[in-house]
Structure formats: structure tokens, C-alpha cells
Chain A
């Protein structure tokens, strides 16, 4: 298939950046989107031109490294998949495809299509874990987990931290990411002791870097794991509980 690509090129964070147009006429519809970019980079390499920098790793939709705003949609037009799982058969012969990096204050562009998503790591550091002594594993059924809670926690834990929610949000908010990371711990018995403290700590860090939620639902539609905005509601409630009636502080000064 023949394609016209308009790709964002930006040499460094301070560079202004602009779209660069490339014509491709030997693309198989069985290629993945990233393989198509590989073909383009191969060609640029042969021409002695600097290759297009883009993030990728596992290429099977579980690592959350690939990004790309494709025709104005994070991870492209296919719902519930990451860019690496998008195939060229989703496009038509003769299409023009516009590729841009994700844009948010918290995701500074390093080069071309690569952004720094380490603000997510700051959120996880603030409380995205449980404090538990490690050692020999305990009996598998020692802590009972209701089936519904386990299922919901698993849905939240599907988050791969790719940042599509931030990219899609008109406010550059990270509510879906943070609430998914909170949800998968806060729904399980092991997450209960630190539930409120964790919620408050992670939300406070989130708000240092990201915008706020206006309940558009764009994040949910962009999420490659189709994580529900129901988790955002749960985060809001836990955060209010923590701020207004933190059990840790009751009866203390």
C-alpha cells in the first residue's frame, strides 16, 4: 500500500520541531504500525538521514513503552490496543497518516516522538506498592479475596502505564493512570492498611505534575487496556476520606 506519513521531528527539547513528510509505497497491510516505521527508518538510514526516534519495547502490548499520537488518537484508531498491536490493514491505500508525540507539561519531548514519562514513576514511588515483609511465600489461600474484588483489581492492574490517558485528556490529567494504580491495590485486602495514606500521597504527587479531571471520558476511550473511569470515582472518594477523616490521625495531634 502507498502511504503519506507526516511525522513530527524535533532534534531536542529546546528545538521548535516541525512535521516532515515521507512517501512510502511498499507497505504490506500485514505489517504492524511500528514495523512500518522500521521500514521508513531503514530507508532513512540508507540515505544517511537521521532516523526517527520513537519508543518501543515488547511489541506485544504489555510493556507500555510505545506511544504515538496517530491521526489525533493515542495509539491510533483501534480501541483497546497499544500502537504496537495496530496493524496497517486498519489503514487504506493512499492514506495520509499524521504521527505526533504525546504532549503534556509532565511529558517533555526528548527527541522526535520520544517523551519522558518518568512523572508516572514519581506517582508510583509515592505509594504504588504495599509495605510487606518479603520472605518465604505464605499459603495461597491464607488471605481470602472476594472474586468480584479480585476481578476488579485485575482490571485496574492491566494498566501498562503508557500515558495514553494523559495524551488523550484535554486537560493533560493523569487521573486514569493514578486511579488504576490505586484501584488494583485499594480493592484487595493486602492494600487496606495503607489505603488512605497511599491515595493521598499518590494524588498529591499526581497533582504536582498533571491537570485535573473534567469527566470527559476521553482517557477511557484511548486506554489500550480499556480501563474504566469508575476507578477515578473510587480514587476521588478515597482521597476525600483521607483528607477529611484520615483514620491515621484520629485522636492524634
Chain B
């Protein structure tokens, strides 16, 4: 009993921190060592990835204009800013930027999750439900993992040509059509793109909050923006496997 009493007294006096105090560094590195800094990195890399996802979808919609337009667009990406810079240089620079954004996005997500697990080592023992957090917010980790795995498969299939479907370098249109004619593969694309839509719905709202972009004048528009942006991306992307399966694009 006296043991318990002294334990109580200690718990009333002392609280164990989850991480040691930081030395005052004002550099970008020091900023990234804080949780709020990681959220900034998450938001900024997220914006880069949203930009990529948006233009990737716009480009992919060329599939509705036919084979020549689609392949011309694919070739154009390699010839961006030619002859100022040699062929494919801009493409590789953009790819490099995207790799950095992905690594930053995933690393910040992982390290923040570790912090959050430490902050509540013993969970609630009674059932508890979210009151306001929407489905998208609660499933960020899972939709993120789904999108990441899908991305690897997508690159294997349509960039490296090792995804098991018919692939010929340079004929992007045929590769897409051959790749998505297979119904299970098309379903994977549809499911993964819905997961992507759910992921960016929360991200496109959340980034404003993380970056401190908050003003009564535009606050109500942040949610509408997120709804519109994720809806456009999801509809645009999901339409392509459906178009191939239904023979609209062949």
C-alpha cells in the first residue's frame, strides 16, 4: 500500500517527456526536427505531388483524343524546353523533384506516426468513436500505403515495362490500352485511384491548416476546394480504365 502511495506521489509530481528538449536551431534542419516543421514538409511535398497528380491526369485525358495526340503528348514531355536544354533533361529534373517530394512526404508521415504512438502508449479501454474526423482523415495512413504500392506497380507496368503486360517503349497509347484491357488490372487501377482521391481530399484541406493559411475570408472555401480537386482527379483518373474496358479507347 505504501508502495502505491509513493507511486501516486511521484505520478503527481513528475511527467515523463516523450522526447528531450531541443537545442535552439533556427535552420531548416532544426525546423524539420520539430513536429510542426514536419507538417510543413508534409504539406509542401503534398502540394508538389498534388500538382503532379493534376497535370498527370490532364495529360492522360489525351487518351480521348486518340492515339496520335496521346503519343505526341508523351513525346512532348521528353522534349520540354528543347533546344534550350538537351532532350529529356527537364523530364528527369521533374522526376528528381518528385522522388524528393515522395521521400519527404513518406519520411515525415512515418516519423510523425512514431511520435503520435509514443504520445498515447496505453489507449482507451472502452470503445470510442470519432466525433467529427471524416473517413478520409482517419484512413490517411492506409490510403497512402495503397497509393504507394500502386505507384510502384504503375511504374513497373507503364514506365519500365516489367508489369507483365504487353509493353513497347515509345508507344504509350498501346501500352495503356494493353495494360488496362485486363479486367483485374483495370480494377486495381480503379480501386487505387479512389484511394488516391480519398487521400488527397483530406490532404488538400489539411495542407492549408498545416501551413497556417487560415483566414475567415477564405476558410469556407478550403473544404470546397478539397472536394472539387479530389473529385476532378478521381473522376478523370477512374474514367481511363473504364474507357479502355468499355472500348471507348482501343
Interface residues of chain A, those whose CB is within 8 Å of chain B, are 6, 8, 11-15, 17, 19, 69, 71-73, 98, 100, 103-111, 116, 118-119, 122, 168, 170-173, 200, 203-205, 207-218, 220-222, 229-230, 232-240, 242-244, 246, 249
Instruction: Say whether B184 faces chain A, with CB atoms less than 8 Å apart.
Output: no
A-contact 0/1 string along B24-41, CB 8 Å cutoff: 101010110011111110
Checking B13, B22, B119 against A204 with a beta-carbon cut-off of 8 angstroms, the contacting residue is B22
The interface residues of chain B lying within 8 Å CB-to-CB of A73 are 128, 131
Task: Find out whether the CB atom of B126 lies under 8 angstroms from the CB atom of A100.
Answer: yes
Task: Find out whether the CB atom of B127 lies under 8 angstroms from the CB atom of A8.
Answer: no
Cross-chain pairs A/B with CB under 8 angstroms, 20 sampled:
A13-B7, A72-B127, A72-B129, A105-B118, A106-B15, A106-B119, A109-B11, A110-B8, A118-B15, A171-B115, A172-B116, A172-B119, A208-B19, A209-B17, A209-B18, A212-B38, A213-B36, A215-B205, A216-B130, A246-B26
The interface residues of chain A lying within 8 Å CB-to-CB of B116 are 170-173, 211-212, 214
Which stretch in B65-73, B99-107, B163-171, B212-220 binds the other chain? B212-220
Task: Find out whether the CB atom of A106 lies under 8 angstroms from the CB atom of B18.
Answer: yes
The interface residues of chain A lying within 8 Å CB-to-CB of B5 are 12
Task: Find out whether the CB atom of B19 lies under 8 angstroms from the CB atom of A218.
Answer: no
Instruction: Say whether B206 faces chain A, with CB atoms less than 8 Å apart.
Output: yes
Task: Find out whether the CB atom of B26 lies under 8 angstroms from the CB atom of A11.
Answer: no
Task: Find out whether the CB atom of A243 lies under 8 angstroms from the CB atom of B26.
Answer: yes
Q: With A208-B19, A216-B138 as given contacts, are A168 and B34 in contact (CB-CB < 8 Å)?
A: no
**Bound: A146/B129 CA distance, A:** 40
Known: A100-B126, A170-B130, A215-B202. 10 other contacts (CB 8 A): A8-B125, A17-B125, A108-B11, A171-B119, A207-B115, A211-B119, A212-B119, A213-B209, A214-B112, A232-B209
Task: Find out whether the CB atom of B208 lies under 8 angstroms from the CB atom of A233.
Answer: yes
Checking A15, A173, A208, A240 against B40 with a beta-carbon cut-off of 8 angstroms, the contacting residue is A240
The interface residues of chain A lying within 8 Å CB-to-CB of B28 are 244
Chain A's closest residue to B211 (CB) is A236
Task: Find out whether the CB atom of A103 lies under 8 angstroms from the CB atom of B115.
Answer: no
Interface residues of chain B, those whose CB is within 8 Å of chain A, are 3-5, 7-8, 10-13, 15-22, 24, 26, 28, 30-31, 34-40, 112, 115-116, 118-133, 137-138, 140, 202, 205-206, 208-214, 216, 219
Checking B4, B20, B24, B128 against A12 with a beta-carbon cut-off of 8 angstroms, the contacting residue is B4
Chain A's closest residue to B20 (CB) is A208
Q: With A208-B20, A230-B219 as given contacts, are A14 and B119 in contact (CB-CB < 8 Å)?
A: no
The interface residues of chain B lying within 8 Å CB-to-CB of A203 are 34, 36
The interface residues of chain A lying within 8 Å CB-to-CB of B21 are 204-205, 208
**Bound: A35/B203 CA distance, A:** 44
The interface residues of chain B lying within 8 Å CB-to-CB of A207 are 19, 22, 34-36, 115
The interface residues of chain B lying within 8 Å CB-to-CB of A13 are 7-8, 10-11
Task: Find out whether the CB atom of A14 lies under 8 angstroms from the CB atom of B7.
Answer: yes
Q: With A108-B15, A211-B116 as given contacts, are A233 and B214 in contact (CB-CB < 8 Å)?
A: yes
Q: With A116-B12, A212-B38, A232-B209 as given contacts, are A221 and B131 in contact (CB-CB < 8 Å)?
A: yes
Task: Find out whether the CB atom of B119 lies under 8 angstroms from the CB atom of A104.
Answer: yes
The interface residues of chain B lying within 8 Å CB-to-CB of A109 are 11
How close is B208's CB to chain A, nearest CB, in angstroms? 7
**Bound: A53/B128 CA distance, A:** 22
Q: With A12-B4, A213-B39, A243-B37 as given contacts, are A233 and B212 in contact (CB-CB < 8 Å)?
A: yes
Task: Find out whether the CB atom of A208 lies under 8 angstroms from the CB atom of B7.
Answer: no
Task: Find out whether the CB atom of B214 lies under 8 angstroms from the CB atom of A230.
Answer: yes
Q: With A207-B34, A243-B30, A243-B31 as given contacts, are A214 and B137 in contact (CB-CB < 8 Å)?
A: yes
How close is B140's CB to chain A, nearest CB, in angstroms? 7
Q: With A172-B119, A208-B21, A240-B212 as given contacts, are A111 and B8 in contact (CB-CB < 8 Å)?
A: yes
The interface residues of chain A lying within 8 Å CB-to-CB of B34 are 203-204, 207, 239, 243
Task: Find out whether the CB atom of B4 lies under 8 angstroms from the CB atom of A14.
Answer: yes
Chain A's closest residue to B208 (CB) is A233
How close is A102's CB to chain B, nearest CB, in angstroms? 9
Task: Find out whether the CB atom of A210 lies under 8 angstroms from the CB atom of B16.
Answer: no
The interface residues of chain A lying within 8 Å CB-to-CB of B130 are 170, 216, 218
How close is B219's CB to chain A, nearest CB, in angstroms? 7
The interface residues of chain B lying within 8 Å CB-to-CB of A214 are 112, 116, 137, 140, 206
How close is B14's CB to chain A, nearest CB, in angstroms? 8
The interface residues of chain A lying within 8 Å CB-to-CB of B129 are 72
